[in-house]
Structure 1
Amino acid sequence: MKVGLFIPCYIDQFYPQVAVATLELLERLGCEVHYPLQQTCCGQPMANSGFSHLSQGCDNNFFRNFEGYDYIVCPSGSCTLHVKEHFQQPGNEQAAVHLRNSVYELTEFLTDVLQVTSLEAEYRHRVGLHVSCHGQRGLHLSSMTETMTPAYSKPERLLSLVDGLELVYPDRPDECCGFGGTFCVFEEAVSAKMGKDRIREHEEKDVEVITAVDMSCLMHLEGILKRNGSKVQVKHIAEILNSPSS
């Protein structure tokens, strides 16, 4: 199985340990992983700001880097969803459709493609799970409380395989953290208040760590935690799933 590793630009710049954990985890599970060195931004920030027509250069570069892989795996729900819904190759729609269908968010890939049922991982902490909006509502990584359908969660299923991990949810499990890409810039006061509400509910559960499938959400929450002087840490789910057993 030949996997192309798609690392969002903000992870590459600010959280390289998440990229390393994703690579190591996939290799431990038997994947042949390649990291195309010329990959850059997928174009999501432009699309979020209403300028998707200016992101064709990003699409072209993405295609040059990732065509030919069996699967493309990304440790970010929002970037994965952007490629799935917006990637274009004018004049080559068949190739565009194939690439869009080849992109998977990490936990989606682990559960749906690799069908992971066991992990040699240990993480002895009380962990709060933040449900990221793009992953839940766009990629359907977990059920939505308002739909009244049977509950499921791919991230929770994987975290349940980690020895010693105690998983807890906030009282309102699928409420947005307020990051929202460029929303946190244009509506910073609303964004910050939403993030503070999320932090408060996690801290009320006495968590040591907050995890999610999107490092962008965790980046937003981490900023609030640090400003508050909180001892609560954030960890991308890849870092936890890749934690070695003692």
Structure 2
Amino acid sequence: MTVRIALFATCLADTLFPEAAKATVLLLERLGHEVVFPFEQTCCGQMHVNTGYQKEALPLVKRYVQTFDPYDVIVAPSGSCVGSIRHQHSMVAAKYGDAGLASRATSVGQRTYELSELLVDVLEVEDVGAFYPHRVTYHPTCHSLRMTRVGDKPLRLLRQVRGIDLVELPAADQCCGFGGTFAIKNAETSTAMLADKMTNIVSTGADVCSAGDASCLMHIGGGLSRLKTGVRTVHLAEILASTES
């Protein structure tokens, strides 16, 4: 059955990592589904809420609700943004908006999925027909692990990829140290956490480190590049969208 899916691209994909959003569309269309891109979409407001500007996030919450309410299924290639939409939007709406907006925000949040959970839980597919002949390790980002609780769904998808050599990441559940503005406000702590994460990634001998959040991959990728490790960072969507042809 063909499912009509609205894509929430996220700020980072829009401005810095468009390949993650493009790969999401390519993958879902290859699986036979219709993907639409509502042009009215903007930021989800996570950055505002997490830095203490909850009231300033209200217009962004309203925009998200108005833009995506018409759709039954919404996907974002970001556990972080999905976590914000599900757990913060209704709170902001109830505190600074009204009960009606809060109710709509809850409803839209329940229809918004991180890519791996959309594939496994909604579309009920684990083998997406991907081919990726590289040694890969996977970093489960904090928001996808602890807020959206995707569990092992990304790994279940990766295990079905043909040609892949998937290796376990030591201390995988430890934060990479990014945390949005945390990396700026607590640079020394963030750098120490990143150093631990990079040590574990390099120890796997992987060519590629993957994750479901471009933000964490940006942080990890920057560190790996500066150390000239030769390890690339690739979004989960890009691996799942890859084929032999």
Gaps of 5+ in 1: 143-152
* Structure 1 residue aligned with 2:106: 97
* Structure 1 residue aligned with 2:123: 114
* Structure 2 residue aligned with 1:34: 36
2:243, 2:213 → 1: CA distance?
A: 22
* Structure 2 residue aligned with 1:147: none
* Structure 2 residue aligned with 1:150: none
* Structure 2 residue aligned with 1:128: 137
TM-score where L is the length of structure 2: 0.93
Residue correspondence of structure 1 range 201-220 to structure 2 within 5 A: 201-220=200-219
* Structure 2 residue aligned with 1:146: none
2:72, 2:15 → 1: CA distance?
A: 26
2:129, 2:116 → 1: CA distance?
A: 16
- Paired residues, what number? 236
Query: Which runs of 4 or more aligned residues in structure 1 lie more than 6 Å from their structure 2 counterparts after TM superposition?
Result: none
* Structure 2 residue aligned with 1:230: 229
Amino acid at match of 2:218: M
2:75, 2:67 → 1: CA distance?
A: 13
Q: Does 1:3 align with 2:5?
A: yes
Superposed CA deviations along residues 92-125 of structure 1, whole A, max 9, x for unmatched, are 1432221111010000100000010322211011
TM-score where L is the length of structure 1: 0.93
* Structure 1 residue aligned with 2:239: 240
Shift of residue 31, structure 1, vs aligned partner: 1.8
Task: Indicate if the aligned counterparts of 2:119 and 2:126 stay in contact, CA closer than 8 A.
Answer: no
* Structure 2 residue aligned with 1:198: 197
Amino acid at match of 1:165: I
Superposed CA deviations along residues 1-32 of structure 1, whole A, max 9, x for unmatched, are 22110011011100101110001111111221
Out of 13, 16, 19, which is 1:17 matched to?
Answer: 19
Task: Indicate if the aligned counterparts of 1:128 and 1:209 stay in contact, CA closer than 8 A.
Answer: yes
Residue correspondence of structure 1 range 6-85 to structure 2 within 5 A: 6-85=8-87
2:169, 2:212 → 1: CA distance?
A: 16
RMSD: 1.2
Task: Indicate if the aligned counterparts of 2:202 and 2:229 stay in contact, CA closer than 8 A.
Answer: no
